[in-house]
Amino acid sequence: MQRDDGSGHRAPPPITSERKQREDPRRGEGWQGDGFGLALHGAYPVIGLATSNGLTQRDATALLLDESAAAPPEGERLRELHHGDGRLLMAIDDCGELGLRIEAPQFGAHQISRDGSTVRSWPGAVPAWRWQRLLIGQVLPLVAALRGLEVLHASAVAHTGLAFALAGDSGAGKSTLAAHLALRGHPLVADDVLAVSLTASRRPQAHRGSTALSVRREDADLAARLVRSGSATAIGSDDKEYVLLEAADRCMPLGAVYRLGHDASRREPIGAPRDPTLSDLMSCSYVKYLNTRARLTTQLEVLAAIAQHCPIVPVNVGAGLTSAQLAAELEAHMSTIVSGSDP
């Protein structure tokens, strides 16, 4: 709690050694890890990200933690989402030199520096698995985009050393298909957001994100099957079920992008690879509110490399197959790409 300093103003609490470590994780041991193509250093572990045991990298993003949220600075509203009843779900503001702020009433608030070097978080009194949903789903993808990676609205799984992206809008079935493919032995690379960069030879490579996966409550039996199989651990439940899956390697070549859509008039579940248009690829991008010159340059370079080196394959989730059946079809299709034969 804050205390009154006698002038009518609220003075900050005493700066104890414990508070110093929480506010600046570079004091004390802290946690070191990586995810979304980022080196990270903080006072707390991020659920589902890989832990690093080496020295903190010079350009690591610092994850700072405060107990109480500061008054939000004035800024330009970039994005706003609401619940069905009109209540605010999430807001993203550009606060000028102070960086960007992402806030959700149920998941706390985060202030991100303009260069992505610092994330200051105010989680509130909620469990880590819950408040870190916003960190994993919005904050770290924004940091990745600020630090020169492209981020796709896609889940991804690994198959024989390649990453396969399942791209689509919210509700398209990305996480459900990834869960079924995990049951078939394909480690999860990322759920919902996939960070991509280019190698020295200008080929796209996928970076491991968080392996915390969420499925809809109506698919609770799928989450239970993952736990029973020994490939996942239950971590929480609200309107969705949350499990922590076994992870793929931290970085691997991107093998293909499966573009999920719904066309009930067609019975073919997986179409032939197609030549993508720019708008087709841009529709797969995440963090669409970030429109700096540097972001646009990276975005076009990475998307062009994906179009050049990776099949873009339409997947019809409205073809009448169950998610398990469609996952089996996808597994067979991925195998043809791995082997280099024509799908």
Q: Where are the domains of the chain?
A: 14-146, 151-339
What single-letter amino acid sits at 162?
L
* Distance (Å) of CA 155 to CA 168, 193, 197: 9, 6, 16
If we measure between CA atoms, which residue out of 229, 193, 184, 203 comes closest to residue 332? 184
Cα–Cα distance for residue pair 286/151, rounded to 1 Å: 5
Amino acid 314: pLDDT:
94
Amino acid 11: pLDDT:
39
Q: For 225-278, how does the pLDDT look when each residue is reduced to its tens digit (9 = 90+)?
A: 999 999 899 999 988 899 999 888 889 999 999 999 988 777 889 998 988 888
| Res 5 pLDDT > 50 | no
**Model's pTM, two decimal places?**
0.88
Query: Which residues fall within 8 angstroms of residue 104, CB to CB, at 6 or more apart?
Result: 88, 89, 90, 91, 134
Q: What is the dihedral of CA 269, 273, 275, 279, to 10 degrees?
A: 40
Place of tokens 């994330």: 119
Considering the chain, what percentage of its residues have pLDDT values greater than 70?
A: 89
* Distance (Å) of CA 256 to CA 45, 226, 260: 31, 25, 13
Q: For 168-204, how does the pLDDT look when each residue is reduced to its tens digit (9 = 90+)?
A: 988 889 999 999 999 999 999 999 999 999 999 999 9
Backbone angles phi, psi at 165, to 5 degrees: -90, 135
> 325 forms bridges with which residues in the sheet?
none
CATH no. for 151-339 = 3.40.50
Beta carbons of 321 and 269 less than 8 angstroms apart:
yes
* Distance (Å) of CA 177 to CA 194, 222, 327: 15, 10, 6
Instruction: Give the count of beta carbons closer than 10 Å to the beta carbon of residue 319.
Output: 19
Query: Which residues fall within 8 angstroms of residue 187, CB to CB, at 6 or more apart?
Result: 157, 158, 245, 246, 247, 248, 249
